[in-house]
Amino acid sequence: MYAAGADARKASIRRIARSLREVRNVASMTAVSVRQLHAGDERVVAQLADREPQTALLADDRTVFVAAFAGEEPVGLAFGYLLPRRRGDAEMLFVYEVDVDEQYRRQGVATRMLSELERVARARGVREGFVLTDADNDPARGLYSSLGGEPLDVVQYEFRYPGP
């Protein structure tokens, strides 16, 4: 009898802990805002970079930076290029980079950033886009599929051009 009561208390504590985690996730999600970056936001790009940031891209009309913020602190970045095309639609979106701080992952932040990239691209008349990821990157593949992306069988080649 005692064991059954202890098990019930443990189960109840687990349910409460899970509920508190869910409340924290919702609270942190509502505290996260997403916006497009422009020239003048170089500090934000630099804060999110793990190497020398190419902040001049902020002034390039063909690049789109979107960042997520927890208050004033940047916690995520999505970056894409509007690629000119030689046939069909004039441009298509190439999502080059998506990154979210670890503590904000699995809370919809990347989804919101990618939705903002899509909004910006659509406003420019873009009707399609693509993103590359590693075959074993299950979280990224799940994200892209959840947004309606369809995986393709493609082979990528990489070229290295040695310096002078």
The rounded distance, in Å, linking the Cα atoms of 48 and 62 is 20
Residue 48 pLDDT: 85
Q: What percent of the chain has pLDDT over 70?
A: 82
- If one counts the domains in the chain, the total is 2
Flag whether pLDDT at 3 surpasses 90.
no
Q: Are residues 18 and 43 in the same domain?
A: no
Q: Is residue 68 part of a domain?
A: yes
**Could you list the residue range(s) of the whole structural domain that residue 62 is in?**
33-146
Same domain, yes or no: 26 and 38: no
Encode pLDDT of 60-70 as tens digits. 999 999 999 99
Q: Are 129 and 100 contained in the same domain?
A: yes
Q: Cβ distance 27 to 63 under 8 Å?
A: no
Are both 79 and 5 inside the same structural domain? no
Length of the chain: 164
Domain match, 22 and 76 both? no
Consecutive H or E run containing 81:
strand 73-84
pLDDT tens digits, one per residue of 84-119: 999 988 999 999 999 999 999 999 999 999 999 999
